[in-house]
Amino acid sequence: MSRRRGSKKRTNGGDGLLTQRQIIQEYGVSKNQIHRFFPKPQLQTVRMRNGAYWNIGVWPREQVEKAIQHPEIARSLEEKRNAQNEQKQAAEIREIFQTYSPESYVERARQMKRSFVLHVGPTNSGKTYDAIEDLKKNIPGTYLGPLRLLALEMYDKINAAGIPCSMLTGEESIPVENAQIVSSTIELCDCKTHFKTAVIDEAQLIADPSRGASWLRAICLVDAEVVHICMAPEALKYIEELIQSFGDHYSVVRHERLAPLRYGGICTGYKDLRPDDALICFSRKSVLSTAALLEKNGFRASVIYGALPPEARRNEVRKYTSGETNIVVATDAIGLGISLPIKRVVFAETEKYDGKDFRPLTTAEINQIGGRAGRYGLNEYGEVLVLGNKPFIGEKLGQSVRNIRAACIAFPREVLETDYPIALLLKTWQRMEQSRGFLREDMHDAQILLNCLKGLRALETERELVFDLITCPVDTRTEELVTYWAECARAILRKKRIPAPYFGTETLQDCELQYKAYDIRHQLLRRIGIPDDCTAERSAICERIAELMRENKDQYIRHCRVCGKELPIGSQFNICEDCFARSMRRI
């Protein structure tokens, strides 16, 4: 801008001429957009406070109004308006969420009169056994566990004791005539029926950000005269304080391991392994490869991992307990819900992938998995070993775990009755600060699934149904399953027929996907009130899995990508030590 003497006239927009600063303030456009899309300004002389005169650029308002119609500017301004509107709505939503505090659960709990028995102790200490014994004597009652396998195990045991017991999980329902007990997964806790006794298992999971809300709900709202809560020691203080807030009576029963646990040091390889060992790996590939290598060296292996269907896992357990196999290879799926007569747990791997990165095992994980060693009545003690020189396993084994400081609270369905978009409700919930003593339920998976339904009118016209669909348990890290879920959900919202699973059973991975797809189909149909019995199809898949595992485990053995030599058990790399050493010498 050039400096010159002249008129004393100031430009303030009142005469229809706007400066750059005024345009930015009034219309929200950027300086860069003015330079790129506006015509050249007129020059007008103004007098500054120090008496000097300056030529500045100005634009007639009509030119400004026309310039901001440019598509890029219009799109930018629309995005800004939307962002401002979203911020305003998010602030309103946060206020609404604050009204749905966990105190509402506590208030309802205070209106009931219950007595609590807190069973506290490590794995294999008889906590659940003692609680179930009381449940069998004081019916009607309910058992609430974290996994279908645990619900199934209790269903079998209680019926074997001559007490009719039904089973209810997200995957299936097994009604039994004149049932006096219901064994179910924690998410399906019946808070409307009155029971004499309830057993809530693995209550330390109350702090889990994905599922912990179900434990909080069950502890607060299950209607039973006596509630047995089984937990690891780190959960005791928090749950004691929670029950004290109810004003109810409670007692604490401390359990010690029935078979002592000790650290056995380093396992060097096959020659150190024995029948009745359990080797722990942390991926499907490692489990299958290790099992194949063990069978080449004279063992008969059962395999257990998360993606394996529950019936197939149960079959692998049966083969081991019957003596058909004599060694177990498993992931941390062995840590909950699977009782095996194993004497030693051998950590073949000591790191696991947590969805973002590989990390060392935590103290809680080491205790939970290692605690499976040593079955009371069969072994004098249990032993934990590690493959390779990883001393931190021995250092952490048996150490106390930091106390739980917060429980998880569920996303409140009531907010669906507002007019705010579901996507914004979920986004705001995820970004809210945690309340003291409580975590907010992780709705990340629901956000991923909701994003698959973009463009459907039903997102706002059938909000309750949409929420039921997006909270269906789906492994969102598996693209094929997310795609199948989206096809089914769109079909439901369009009132069309759900497609049948289409992954086939040619390979083991195909079978796993096919089984999970049937689970998705079953869950979705159950949520809209349509019965779906796919027991026969799922049983056929499990038979096919057993067939594939019998045929040829050698195909799962991992080999060095350079020389082709078999990689040893516990190897976390795709290259052998010799080839790696040679490559390092060349650097």
What is the model's pTM?
Answer: 0.79
Q: Specify the amino acid at residue 348.
A: A
Whether the Cβ atoms of residue 278 and residue 342 lie closer than 8 Å to each other? yes
Say how far apart CA 446 and CA 432 lie, in whole Å: 16
User: What CATH architecture is 261-403?
Assistant: 3-Layer(aba) Sandwich (3.40)
Structure tokens at 131: 């609680």
Same fold, 103-254 and 261-403: yes
Every domain of the chain and the residues it spans: 17-96, 103-254, 261-403, 443-553
Whether the Cβ atoms of residue 149 and residue 310 lie closer than 8 Å to each other? yes
Tell me the per-residue pLDDT of 323-344, one tens digit each, with 9 for 90 and over. 999 999 998 888 776 778 899 9
Say how far apart CA 308 and CA 303 lie, in whole Å: 9
Whether the Cβ atoms of residue 438 and residue 409 lie closer than 8 Å to each other? yes
Structure tokens at 540: 């056929």
Whether the Cβ atoms of residue 252 and residue 118 lie closer than 8 Å to each other? yes
* Largest Cα span, the chain: 107
What is the chain's pLDDT, residue by residue, as a tens digit (587 residues)?
A: 444 444 444 444 446 889 888 998 888 888 999 888 999 998 888 777 777 888 888 999 999 989 889 998 888 888 888 888 888 988 989 888 887 767 778 888 999 999 999 999 988 888 999 999 999 999 999 999 998 888 988 999 999 999 999 999 877 788 999 999 999 999 999 999 999 999 999 999 999 988 999 999 999 999 999 999 999 999 999 999 999 999 999 999 999 988 889 999 998 888 889 999 999 998 888 888 899 889 888 899 999 988 888 888 888 988 999 999 999 999 888 877 677 889 999 999 988 877 677 889 999 899 989 988 887 667 788 899 998 878 889 899 988 889 999 889 889 988 999 999 999 999 999 998 877 778 889 999 999 999 999 988 888 889 999 999 999 999 999 999 999 999 999 999 999 999 999 999 999 899 999 999 999 999 899 888 888 878 889 889 988 988 888 776 778 888 888 888 888 876 777 888 888 888 877 76
Residue with tokens 């099992």: 291
Say how far apart CA 416 and CA 205 lie, in whole Å: 27
Whether the Cβ atoms of residue 232 and residue 262 lie closer than 8 Å to each other? no
Whether the Cβ atoms of residue 253 and residue 130 lie closer than 8 Å to each other? yes
Nearest CA among 561, 564, 565, 557 for reference residue 574:
561
Structure tokens at 367: 């205790």
Nearest CA among 467, 408, 414, 410 for reference residue 96:
414
Whether the Cβ atoms of residue 17 and residue 62 lie closer than 8 Å to each other? no
Q: Using CB atoms within 10 A of its CB, is residue 138 exposed (0-12), middle (13-18) or buried (19+)?
A: middle
Say how far apart CA 247 and CA 116 lie, in whole Å: 11
DSSP string, 306-345: TTS-HHHHHHHHHHHHTTS--EEEE-GGGGSS-----SEE
Query: Which phi and psi (to 5°) does residue 275 adopt?
Result: -55, 150
Other residues' Cβ atoms within 10 Å of the Cβ of residue 554: 12
Q: Using CB atoms within 10 A of its CB, is residue 346 exposed (0-12), middle (13-18) or buried (19+)?
A: buried
**Dihedral, CA of residue 424, residue 427, residue 433 and residue 434, to nearest 10:** 110
Whether the Cβ atoms of residue 254 and residue 121 lie closer than 8 Å to each other? yes
Q: Which helix (H) or strand (E) holds 17?
A: strand 17-19
Query: Which phi and psi (to 5°) does residue 145 adopt?
Result: -125, 170
Question: Could you give the angle at the alpha carbon of 181 between the alpha carbons of 179 and 186, nearest 5°?
Answer: 130
Distances in Å between the alpha carbon of 156 and those of 147, 174, 248, 535?
Answer: 14, 11, 32, 18
Whether the Cβ atoms of residue 405 and residue 268 lie closer than 8 Å to each other? no
Instruction: Provide the pLDDT for residue 498.
Output: 93
User: What CATH architecture is 103-254?
Assistant: 3-Layer(aba) Sandwich (3.40)
Q: Which residues pair with 57 in a beta bridge?
A: 43
- Could you give the 3-state DSSP secondary structure of residue 35? helix
Determine how β-strand 173-174 pairs with β-strand 165-168.
antiparallel
